[in-house]
Chains A and B, each alone.
Chain A
Amino acid sequence: MTDTSLSLTPAQDSASAFARGDARVGDYMALLKPRVMSLVVFTGFAGLFVAPGSPHPLLAAVAVLCIAMGAGGAGAINMWYDRDIDAIMERTRRRPIPSGRVEPAEALTFGIILSLFSVMLMGLALNWAAAGLLALANAFYVFVYTLWLKRRTPFNIVIGGAAGAFPPMIGWAAVTGTVGIEAIALFAIIFMWTPPHFWALALYRAGDYAAAGIPMLPVTAGPAVTRRQIVLYSIILVPLSLAPVALGFAGWLYGTVAGLFGLAFLTLAFRVWRETGTRAARRLFGFSILYLFVLFSALIAERVLTGSPAGIWG
């Protein structure tokens, strides 16, 4: 009697796992990158909530759903394309495709259908400006970041990070039908937040990225340069986070929160610069997620408290 599982190659094992029908609904959910999606959905909702206007609550919910589906679809396509490097990296090797629970072609189909459907639904339910921005964000993430920049340049997440900055702009456009300076300010905050966030992660995952051949900044330029870049981007981010106050669509509550959390962000960034270990980088990575959630929560809270402009519940 032989144990066939011992003689299977990884590819055969993946194929047999798929043939066994091992994919569960949870695996398809995992293809959508739910943790990334939660931040995308939240910032999209914030953009929608603070925009001047009062869409029907159902249409507002549909807009958030479209942002979630669009982000999820782009995530699934990203996992399809990156399945080779995902199998190498410790952080990603248990994803549905490298672990063989979902067939690559199925993940790609799933991602394309979700992406197209989300854009179509956004256009029909809300407006085509929001749908166009959603399509642009999706295309930017798939074609510019995943296919072009990610494996070619250490500034992959600086330029590619724009894809993750689109959601508040999409939410804003879903309500107003246009892209105002306020929406651009929210875009700019996430755009400047992305590099320190991902470089903090890359500092303590540099080995993983190097093994997979991804030219993240700590791999190509070293930790010292990365730490300096984290500080530089953080110095730009903190004053930029006060732009909503300067533009008049946020007040003292948001300003106070953004100021205090901005100081904490800067403090952690300087600690990353000074310390040679990975502890400060881990702390900055964790804090950066909280920072963005708190910033956009403050925007929403202030709008709820002051009640102007109307917002979706007005």
Chain B
Amino acid sequence: MTAMAKRAPRSELHRKQRIKNLAVVAALLGMVVLIYLITIVRIGGA
């Protein structure tokens, strides 16, 4: 039996919460990248 098979099945609620968490992480990463790019452009004197 593989390690994957031994893991308890995730409930539907956990699966949905995981998707929501990933969306929040993506939004935060997007914000960091965006602010970084804005800083580069502003420093460049545009």
| Residues of chain A whose beta carbon lies under 8 Å from any beta carbon of chain B | 19-25, 55-56, 58-59, 62, 117, 121, 124-125
List the A residue with the shortest CB-CB distance to B31. Answer: A117
Could you tell me if A21 and B38 are in contact, using CB atoms closer than 8 angstroms?
A: no
Could you tell me if A58 and B17 are in contact, using CB atoms closer than 8 angstroms?
A: no
Least Cβ–Cβ distance between B33 and chain A, in angstroms: 11
Number of interface residues, chain B, beta carbon within 8 A: 15
Q: How far is the CA of A62 from the CA of B12 in the complex (A)?
A: 36
Could you tell me if A23 and B20 are in contact, using CB atoms closer than 8 angstroms?
A: yes
List the B residue with the shortest CB-CB distance to A19. Answer: B13
Could you tell me if A62 and B46 are in contact, using CB atoms closer than 8 angstroms?
A: no
Whether a CB of chain A sits under 8 angstroms from the CB of B6 is no
Could you tell me if A21 and B37 are in contact, using CB atoms closer than 8 angstroms?
A: no
Could you tell me if B17 and A125 are in contact, using CB atoms closer than 8 angstroms?
A: no
Interface of B is mostly: helix
Given known contacts A124-B38, A125-B42, is B23 in contact with A21 (CB within 8 Å)?
Answer: no
| Residues of chain B whose beta carbon lies under 8 Å from any beta carbon of chain A | 12-13, 16-17, 19-20, 23, 31, 34-35, 37-38, 41-42, 46
Could you tell me if A20 and B46 are in contact, using CB atoms closer than 8 angstroms?
A: no
Could you tell me if B38 and A59 are in contact, using CB atoms closer than 8 angstroms?
A: yes
Which A residues are in CB contact (< 8 Å) with B42? 125
Could you tell me if B46 and A21 are in contact, using CB atoms closer than 8 angstroms?
A: no
Which A residues are in CB contact (< 8 Å) with B38? 58-59, 62, 121, 124-125
Which A residues are in CB contact (< 8 Å) with B41? 56, 58-59
Which A residues are in CB contact (< 8 Å) with B16? 21-24
Q: How far is the CA of A86 from the CA of B31 in the complex (A)?
A: 32
List the A residue with the shortest CB-CB distance to B22. Answer: A25
Least Cβ–Cβ distance between A33 and chain B, in angstroms: 19
Could you tell me if A21 and B34 are in contact, using CB atoms closer than 8 angstroms?
A: no
List the B residue with the shortest CB-CB distance to A65. Answer: B34
Which B residues are in CB contact (< 8 Å) with A56? 41, 46
Given known contacts A20-B13, A124-B38, is B46 in contact with A59 (CB within 8 Å)?
Answer: yes
Which B residues are in CB contact (< 8 Å) with A55? 46
Could you tell me if A25 and B46 are in contact, using CB atoms closer than 8 angstroms?
A: no
